Amino acid sequence: MYKVFLVDDEELVIKSLKASVNWNEYGFEVAGYALSSAEAFEAISSIKPDIVFTDIRMPGMSGLELIKNLKDTFSRALFIVVSGYAEFAFAQKAINYGAFGYCLKPFDDAEIIGYLKKAKVILEDRETSIATDILDFIEENNEQAREGLRKALILSGIDMESANGMKAVVSIGKDKLKLYGLRGCIALRIGFGKYAYLVQNSPENSLFFNTREAEANGTKGIGTSSVIYKVDQIKEAIHAAEINAYCYFTTGKECRLSDEAADLPEKDYSIKKLVEATRNSDMVVIYDSLDEMGALFANGQLHMKHALIAYNQILSFAHNSEEELYEDYIYSYDQLTSLFSTVQDMLLFLKGLLTEKLKTKNEWKPLHVRNRTFNAIYKYVNENYCNDISIPDISKRFNVNANYISQLFKKELGTTFTEYMAKLRIDYACQLLTTTDLPMNEIAEKAGYNDYFYFSRIFKRMMGNTPSSYRAGR
């Protein structure tokens, strides 16, 4: 919700304006009002509304002077002047002072609604621009970027150096959360259906969304970080909040706002026990470790990072070669949640994989097909690399053994399937970076990456610099 502030020296006018439209219907809420410009100046500096409706003629400081003084403090609010005087000179002067609109008393509902719709477009575009800048600054992580990040946060109403500090919140699901009564927040899209919210920590912001409504709109999990006070802690805070948001996957409890994982002692000994058992090929201890981890996940004593480690550790043990492992290795939390509904399902799968390993005694029997089969696979990959495709998907589609597909990629192209997919995606991302003005997170999604930070990491590994640096240097 965008915040509106009303200023008029007649309280009856304030009440009339508040009742004139259904503010919430158009994405706004009345966050406060004042009966004088002097009172308004102090309140607006604190509340930082997105739109200010102000009368022109008031005792003391006029509405036009209020606009000028707020502009001098770098307020980014949109100003709409209201007046009972249908004089062109007032309207012209209001526009010269930077007013967004001018309307007359008594209020015309349709006119006010029209201004709200136009203002919402401007505010959304501004928010998207700031969010894109913030993501770039977080990734760059140098002194210039950190200074840019501080300024971008201030524009969003967030002062990290205040006594209260800031928190990161991450939601995973279908849509962005609907925020209520929130002061000081910026939403960042960091993946498909995944948003990070940088929020000024304060008592008023302790609960800023409706849990039931979030669940109804498809939100699976919500997590928060502990309080931070430095801009170079933001990326780590987002990752911490993201891990907590995946508690729906690890504990089976949906849409739970939690920062508990940040304070709970991690049961890393169970991971160490699993690693040691796989090194010693001790199947009894491996199965025992997986059972133990299942209980720890259910109790919230292990989190998403541990799930990813456990999955890859068992795959490493179950596969015969590094090439096979490389193809099935999971690099992001989203990949893991796309394969399994819960961590318990994942553990059952891993136990089945171990059982299959015992049955087959590691003897893989790939199918022998002609190269024309690979040509069909090659064509399919080149046409669909921006989609979520994998070796198992291709195996089912073409009825070809998964391991044999990996061998064909190595034999025919001299590279692995994963490396080839990454090359296609990053090449396409480079084209988008140099030929469009799309934000980085949208480019990541169009190139086939559901996680912005994972995309950025792969891009930097392959191209030698970050996506924003690549765009700036072309």
Q: What are the residue ranges of CATH 1.10.10.60 in the chain?
A: 371-473
pLDDT at 46: 80
- Return d(Cα 405, Cα 408) in angstroms, integer: 5
Give just the sign of the alpha carbon dihedral 72, 75, 78, 79: negative
- Return d(Cα 334, Cα 395) in angstroms, integer: 21
* CATH number for the domain formed by residue range(s) 2-124: 3.40.50.2300
The DSSP element (H or E) to which 321 belongs, if any, is none
pLDDT at 60: 86
Residue that the structure tokens 């965008």 belong to: 2
Task: Enter the pTM of the model.
Answer: 0.67
Q: Are strands 51-55 and 78-83 parallel, antiparallel or unpaired?
A: parallel
Q: What are the residue ranges of CATH 3.40.50.2300 in the chain?
A: 2-124
- Return d(Cα 234, Cα 236) in angstroms, integer: 5
pLDDT at 268: 73
Q: Are strands 166-172 and 221-224 parallel, antiparallel or unpaired?
A: antiparallel
Q: Which residues contact 299 (CB under 8 A, 6 or more apart)?
A: 251
Helices (H) and strands (E) in the chain, counts: 22, 10
| Long-range contacts formed by 367-373: CB under 8 A, 24+ apart | 367/400, 367/401, 367/404, 368/404, 369/400, 369/404, 371/408, 371/412, 373/398, 373/400, 373/408
Asked if 280 contacts 274 with a C-beta cutoff of 8 angstroms, the reply is: no
pLDDT at 207: 52
- Return d(Cα 302, Cα 344) in angstroms, integer: 12
pLDDT of the chain along its 474 residues, tens only?
788 999 999 999 899 888 888 998 888 989 899 999 999 999 988 888 889 999 888 888 888 889 888 887 767 889 998 887 666 676 677 777 778 888 887 788 899 999 999 999 888 888 778 888 899 899 887 899 889 998 888 878 788 877 788 999 999 987 788 766 566 788 898 988 899 999 888 766 555 555 666 666 678 888 888 899 999 999 999 999 999 899 889 988 754 554 454 444 456 788 889 989 888 888 888 888 999 999 999 888 899 999 999 999 998 888 755 555 556 678 889 889 988 999 999 999 998 888 776 655 434 343 344 467 888 899 899 999 999 888 888 988 998 888 888 888 888 888 899 999 999 999 999 988 887 878 888 899 999 998 899 999 999 999 988 998 888 876
pLDDT at 264: 47
SS3 string of 234-283? HHHHHHHHHHHHCHHHHCCCCCCEECHHHCCCCCHHHHHHHHHHHHCCCH
Side-chain half-sphere of 471: how many Cα atoms within 13 Å? 20
Cis peptide bond upstream of 106, omega within 30: yes
pLDDT at 449: 92
Indicate the fold that domain 371-473 takes in CATH: Arc Repressor Mutant, subunit A (1.10.10)
Question: 224 in helix, strand or coil?
Answer: strand
Asked if 328 contacts 418 with a C-beta cutoff of 8 angstroms, the reply is: no
pLDDT at 79: 93
Question: What residue spans of 25-160 are helical by DSSP H?
Answer: 37-47, 63-72, 88-96, 109-140, 143-155
β-bridge partners, 101: 80
Q: Are strands 185-191 and 51-55 parallel, antiparallel or unpaired?
A: unpaired
